[in-house]
Chain A
Amino acid sequence: MSEIIPIWRLKYLPHNLEEICGRKDLIQRLLKIVKAKNFPHLLFVGPDGIGKTTIATLFSKAFLGKYYISNFQKVFADVPLTSEEMKQARSDAYVSTNKIGSLAGKKITTPAFIQVKIKPFIELKALGDVPFKILVVKNFEVLASNQQAFRRLMEIYGSNCRMILITTKISAIIDPIISRCQIFLISPPAYEDFRKEINLILKNEEIVMEENTLKLLYKITNGRMADAIDLLQLSSISGEKIDSSILYENLMVSQGNLVKNLLLLCLKGDFPKARELSRKIQSNYKYSSQEVFNFLLDEIFKLPLSRYARYNITTLIANADVRAVDGLDTDIQISNLLAKICYFAEVL
Chain B
Amino acid sequence: MKNLPWVEKYRPKSIREMAIPQAKVSGHIVALDEELRTFIKNFFRETQKINEENKKIKSFNRTVEDKKQKKQLKIPSEKAAVLLEGPPGIGKTSIVYALANDMNMEVIETNASDTRTRDALELKLKETVKSRGIMDFIVQSKDKLILIDEVDGIYGVTDRGAVPAILDLIKDTQFPIIMCSNEYKRTLQPIYNKVRKFEVKPLSKDEILKIIRVILKKEMVENLKLEDLNYIIDKNNGDLRGIINDLQGISQGELNEHNRELITQLHRDSTEEIFSLIRELFQDAKSLQEARRITDKSDVDYNFLYKWISENLPTFIKKNKEIEQAYENLSVADQIFGRIRKNQYWSLLPYFYDLFSGGVVLARKYHPENGGFRRITFPRFTSTGLFSLSVAEQSFVEKVKARYNISEIEVIQKLLPFLRSLSSKSRKHLKIISDWFDLDAKEKKVLKS
The answer to whether A and B belong to the same complex is: yes
Taking Cβ atoms with an 8 Å cutoff, the residues of A that contact B are: 5-7, 9-10, 49, 57, 74, 76, 78-80, 90, 138, 226, 230, 233-234, 237, 250, 253-255, 269, 271-272, 275, 279, 282-289, 320, 323, 326-333, 335-336, 339-340, 342-343, 346
Alpha-carbon distance between A339 and B360 when the two chains are bound, in angstroms: 13
Q: Which residue of A lies closest to B408 (CB)?
A: A79
The answer to whether B387 touches A286, judged by C-beta atoms less than 8 angstroms apart, is yes
Residues of B within 8 A of A7 (CB): 419, 433, 436
Cβ of B314 under 8 Å from chain A: yes
Residues of A within 8 A of B433 (CB): 6-7
List B residues 392-449 near A (Cβ within 8 Å): 403-405, 407-409, 412-415, 417-419, 421-422, 425-426, 429, 432-433, 436, 449
Residues of B within 8 A of A329 (CB): 306-307, 310, 334, 383, 385
Alpha-carbon distance between A162 and B98 when the two chains are bound, in angstroms: 64
* Interface hit among B54-62, B64-72, B75-83, B323-331: B323-331
Residues of B within 8 A of A332 (CB): 306-307, 310, 327, 330-331, 334
Which of A233, A282, A289, A336 is most buried by chain B, counting CB atoms within 10 A of its CB? A336
Q: Given known contacts A275-B314, A343-B320, A343-B321, is B335 in contact with A6 (CB within 8 Å)?
A: no
Alpha-carbon distance between A336 and B321 when the two chains are bound, in angstroms: 12
Residues of A within 8 A of B30 (CB): none
Residues of A within 8 A of B332 (CB): 323
Interface of A is mostly: helix
Alpha-carbon distance between A68 and B413 when the two chains are bound, in angstroms: 28
Residues of B within 8 A of A346 (CB): 320-321
The answer to whether B310 touches A335, judged by C-beta atoms less than 8 angstroms apart, is yes
Smallest CB separation, B224 vs chain A (Å): 41
> B320's contact among A287, A323, A342, by CB below 8 Å, is which?
A342
Alpha-carbon distance between A256 and B62 when the two chains are bound, in angstroms: 82
Cβ of B337 under 8 Å from chain A: yes
Alpha-carbon distance between A197 and B335 when the two chains are bound, in angstroms: 50
- Cβ contacts B177-216/A at 8 Å (1 or 0 each): 0000000000001000000000000000000000000000
Residues of B within 8 A of A326 (CB): 335, 338-339
> A330's contact among B189, B383, B404, B413, by CB below 8 Å, is which?
B383
Q: Given known contacts A7-B433, A285-B412, A327-B338, is B387 in contact with A333 (CB within 8 Å)?
A: no
The answer to whether A287 touches B404, judged by C-beta atoms less than 8 angstroms apart, is no
Alpha-carbon distance between A272 and B320 when the two chains are bound, in angstroms: 10
Cβ of B135 under 8 Å from chain A: no
Residues of A within 8 A of B385 (CB): 288-289, 328-330
Can you name 16 extra interface pairs (CB under 8 A) apart from A78-B409, A329-B385, A343-B321?
A7-B419, A79-B408, A138-B407, A226-B414, A234-B418, A234-B422, A285-B413, A286-B388, A286-B389, A286-B412, A329-B383, A339-B323, A339-B328, A340-B324, A342-B324, A343-B323
The answer to whether A323 touches B387, judged by C-beta atoms less than 8 angstroms apart, is no
Alpha-carbon distance between A80 and B331 when the two chains are bound, in angstroms: 26
Alpha-carbon distance between A284 and B447 when the two chains are bound, in angstroms: 11
Cβ of B386 under 8 Å from chain A: yes
Residues of A within 8 A of B419 (CB): 7
The answer to whether B407 touches A255, judged by C-beta atoms less than 8 angstroms apart, is no
23 contacts between A and B (CB under 8 A): A6-B436, A9-B415, A74-B405, A78-B409, A79-B407, A80-B386, A234-B422, A237-B422, A271-B323, A282-B383, A284-B449, A286-B387, A286-B409, A323-B332, A327-B334, A327-B338, A329-B306, A332-B306, A332-B334, A336-B327, A340-B327, A342-B320, A346-B320
